Amino acid sequence: MAVAVALSVLAVAPAAALQSEEGQCVPLPVVDDRCESWQVVHDPVADVDEPYQQPSAMVTSTSADLIAVAGYGAQDLFDTQGQAHSAWRILGIDPDTGEVRWLSRPGLTDAYSRPLGIQIAEDGTSVLVAGYRASAFGQTDALMVVMSLDAATGEVRWSTTVDGGRAEARSTDARGWFVAEADGSVLVLGTHRQPPPAVAQGLVVVRLDADTGDPTAVRTIPGVIPTGTSVPAGLAVSDDGDHAVVGATVDGVGTYDLDMLAVGLDLADGGLDVTWSHAWDGVGAHAPDRVQGMAADPVDGLVVLTGISSNDVDGSPFDVDYATATIAYDMETGARRWLSREMLAERVAMPAGVAVDDGRVVVVGSRSVDGTGQGYALGLDATDGSTSWVSPVDTPDRDREFTTAVAINGDHVAVTGGSSSSVAATVMPNRATISDTLTVALSASDGSRRWTARHNSTDIGDDAGRAVTVTPAGDVHVLSQVTRNVDMDENFYDLAVLGYLAADAPPVTPDRLGQL
């Protein structure tokens, strides 16, 4: 079923190898309220073999006083021959100063590998990472890899390769997407190639011993149809550690049918027994209903999925309106607590993520408004799903904003994404998607905006936030992809982390409130 393997190489860089850079940000009146308190750009220029540094996931832990970031370095992002190699990059960063405490570069023997999910253990001692390794780009011989790193040093405690529940390990195409901790165990939600004659991608959950990395249970999760493809959307564990919920988009029975799947697992006695399963088909049209994000409030036993939901029963899936659909389930019983469907645009409002905390749910996404692109944040009551507020996420001098992620902690909401302008297409036709990383802070109670910040790595670069966290004090941390330009036609991508500390935030005055 699985085998534990040792790392061939481990390199942990000292903090001096990567330091916070001095920012060049200048706030613009009315448009941008503030600059980042610190920024770290992982840009190993000397490493000519891997000029592309891509972000994957980020998590912040107050117990560990640490930001943990997963990414990878790649030789070539657009290699059509499948020969380019890539390798994991795991960073530990001080959340107050931006100092890079350690950089771990696990030496996987395969040519192509990526981390996809990251978590910090509740006691703050370990960083858990899940991903995959393969012989080359585009190959279907990937194997799931799970690692535990020392949160203080970045040293790998154990590394385990999992075959995805099939004996013929090198043909499973298994990948780890999300990782969580549960009562002395590590849980990983991933995908695996289903056995012949099916060739579709299925779901698999793996349970490992948190101390040794030894796999203790593997459970494949069925979709709606046996030959359908499943795409993971999230993994959550209840506060008592007895239950877990898996979220995914799965193929339905119709030609273009996609359903929003939620599955409950019983974790008692070291198991992974399926206790409930719901595949939501929207308005019952067998049309696309796709999960775009999942979040949970373990204390309240609530799990929430959000995504797009077709409004058209009879029309083509390429000519329909899509609502933003959010569904809440009880983590233990699977009982549906509520359903919200909101039309937040004339045609399509595309959700990108969801967060839940302290009785509030916030969904973020992007929509078209009067021919321009605009981000949005939707506030819902976690008890009944009723709409509390809707706030635009945009800036007055741009007309192409989008969101990618959201975090909530108490009354603090942080949203990240990108901000660009259609003017770029006129000035530089081959650079029509030039964007800056956009970060917005909102109040969870009423959606009012507290501050706005944009980060621009280069004048002609494509930057965008990929993940965001917020602390109880309101400190915001953003994982971003930034661009290092060689010329107008060739760019290299870097991984960046931006810190926006509450202590550095501008004061909220009546004049500023009138400008927002």
- Mean pLDDT lowest for which of 151-165, 393-407, 477-491? 477-491
213: which 2 tokens?
């990395």
Residue at 463 is within a domain: yes
Q: How many domains does the chain have?
A: 1
Dist CA 168 CA 152 (whole Å):
37
Of residues 313 and 352, more confidence is placed in 352
Q: What is the mean pLDDT of the chain?
A: 81
Residue 31: its pLDDT value, please?
Answer: 62
Least Cα distance to 384 among 337, 327, 447, 341 occurs for 337
Residue at 371 is within a domain: yes
pTM score: 0.87
Of residues 364 and 255, more confidence is placed in 364
Residue at 388 is within a domain: yes
- Residues 282/340, Cβ–Cβ less than 8 Å: no
Residue at 481 is within a domain: yes
Residue at 350 is within a domain: yes
Residue-range definition of the domain harbouring residue 424: 344-510
Residue 315: its pLDDT value, please?
Answer: 54
Residue at 351 is within a domain: yes
400: which 2 tokens?
């192409």
CATH number, domain containing residue 420: 2.40.10.480
The residue whose two tokens read 């995908």 is 191
Dist CA 125 CA 123 (whole Å):
6
pLDDT band at 491 (very low <50, low <70, confident <90, very high): low
Note the pLDDT tens digit of each residue in 380-436.
Answer: 999 999 999 999 998 877 778 899 999 999 999 999 998 887 665 444 444 445 788
Note the pLDDT tens digit of each residue in 178-190.
Answer: 999 998 999 999 9
Residue 60: its pLDDT value, please?
Answer: 87
Residue at 391 is within a domain: yes
Instruction: Tell me the β-bridge partners of 485.
Output: 491
Residue at 356 is within a domain: yes
Strand, coil or helix: 418: strand
Question: Element (H or E) spanning 425, and its range?
Answer: helix 423-427
Q: Is the pLDDT of residue 97 over 90?
A: yes
pLDDT band at 168 (very low <50, low <70, confident <90, very high): very low
pLDDT band at 13 (very low <50, low <70, confident <90, very high): very low
Q: Is the pLDDT of residue 79 over 70?
A: no
Dist CA 185 CA 205 (whole Å):
12
